[in-house]
Amino acid sequence: MRAGTGRVRLVAITALAALALATAACADDSTDGTSASPAASGGGSMKNGLKIAFLPKQVNNPYFTTSDNGGKTAVEEIKGTYSETGPSEASPSAQVSYINTLSQQNTDVIVVSANDKDAICGALNEARQGGAKVVTFDSDTNPTCRDLFINQATAEGIAKNQVKLISDAVGPDGGEIAILSATANATNQNTWIEMMKTELAKPEYAKLKLVDTVYGDDQDQKSFTETQALLAKHPNLKGIISPTTVGVAAAARYLSGSSYKGKVQLTGLGTPNQMRAFVKDGTVKAFALWNPADLGYLAAYAGGALASGLITGKEGDKFTAGKLGEFTVGKDATVLLGDPFTFNASNIDQFNF
């Protein structure tokens, strides 16, 4: 099913990656170091020497370390200069000063996961007026402040996945569930929560009742204590959805050391490395994510294609993202990576990120 199909796709991607690297190595031999990389489709070539900067929601989050490293791989492939900068806390306006600095440094492409859809708009638009291209990934801004959004999976797909996972974990009797989110302003979280509410309104989920939504701010300790408080406040709680890698790991740690382990179910969006122990000890049956490295990789290629003038971000634009192949820009200047992938005890050991 979804997990199986996804696994095949991930394996296939690895094989393609090896092929792409081999091909890139051959191409390197024949260049003089100044010509453009033949990395994008559409009749032109990727410019060399582009300054491409990654600005995650926060820098000390393993999810973003993985995504940004994926970006670094891509930037190296297109012979650009990679950098990563950003705040240590995912607060709404914390990214503004970093954007201003990147702008002053004449950065060609800013690849950003937004903590707030509006708070960073002014700074991003100034950067664009100065000639930078702005690519959002993971968490979008208002579409008027960026050139492209690289979406990890559709909000609908993520919501369907998360609600199905908690429903399966809780079982046919259903009961009360809650959401432990990241920050209250995060565009991605809020979009997913709205879609989860739509999903929960379907007849097949009539026995699940969403009783609370709390915010751990993508801080480990706050997410841990919010989980504790949630369980104290709702003694009949049967399940928690935490669609944030920081939140779901903290909630799992709390549950696994408490008397709620195995009684209150947990799912969410997590990284295999952070969740492995909690799948093995029975705290979590299944959770989901996408490949964050691929997300960063795709975002870097998209930014390179924009800054090289190969695409403008209009619907129907096509570009090639190295080992991931060709992508087409969809509605609202959005590019979709793929489907969410479900991890469980049977497949988790195949992943290392």
What does DSSP say about strands 286-289 and 341-344: parallel, antiparallel, or unpaired?
A: antiparallel
Q: Long-range CB contacts (< 8 A, 24+ apart) of 18-25?
A: 19/323, 20/322, 20/323, 21/323, 24/77, 24/322
* Among the listed residues 147, 218, 317, 339, the single contact to ligand RAM using CB under 6 A: 218
Q: How far is the CB of 319 from ligand RAM (least distance, A)?
A: 23
If one asks whether residue 188 binds ligand RAM (CB under 6 A), the answer comes out as yes
# binding residues, ligand RAM (CB under 6 A): 13
If one asks whether residue 187 binds ligand RAM (CB under 6 A), the answer comes out as no
Restricted to residues 57-96, the positions that interact with ligand RAM (CB under 6 A) are 57, 61, 63
If one asks whether residue 339 binds ligand RAM (CB under 6 A), the answer comes out as no
Instruction: Determine which helix (DSSP H) or strand (DSSP E) holds 220, and give its type and residue range.
Output: helix 220-233
Report how far residue 147's alpha carbon sits from residue 106's, in angstroms, rounded to the nearest whole number: 17
Unique residue bearing structure tokens 């990147």? 102
- Region near ligand RAM per CB under 6 A, out of 1-9, 56-64, 95-103, 335-343: 56-64
- Region near ligand RAM per CB under 6 A, out of 7-15, 159-167, 242-250, 320-328: 242-250
- Region near ligand RAM per CB under 6 A, out of 38-46, 98-106, 201-209, 238-246: 238-246
Q: Is 147 helix (H, G, I), strand (E, B) or coil?
A: coil
Report how far residue 273's alpha carbon sits from residue 63's, in angstroms, rounded to the nearest whole number: 10
Q: CB-based burial of residue 100 (10 Å sphere; 0-12 exposed, 13-18 middle, 19+ buried)?
A: middle
If one asks whether residue 112 binds ligand RAM (CB under 6 A), the answer comes out as no
Residue number, 182 or 240, with CB nearest to ligand RAM: 182
Q: List 214's β-bridge partners, or say none.
A: 180
Report how far residue 72's alpha carbon sits from residue 53's, in angstroms, rounded to the nearest whole number: 9
- The CB-nearest residue to ligand RAM is 63
If one asks whether residue 244 binds ligand RAM (CB under 6 A), the answer comes out as yes
Kindly list the residues in this chain that would bind ligand RAM in the complex (CB under 6 A).
57, 61, 63, 113, 138-139, 182, 188, 218, 244-246, 269
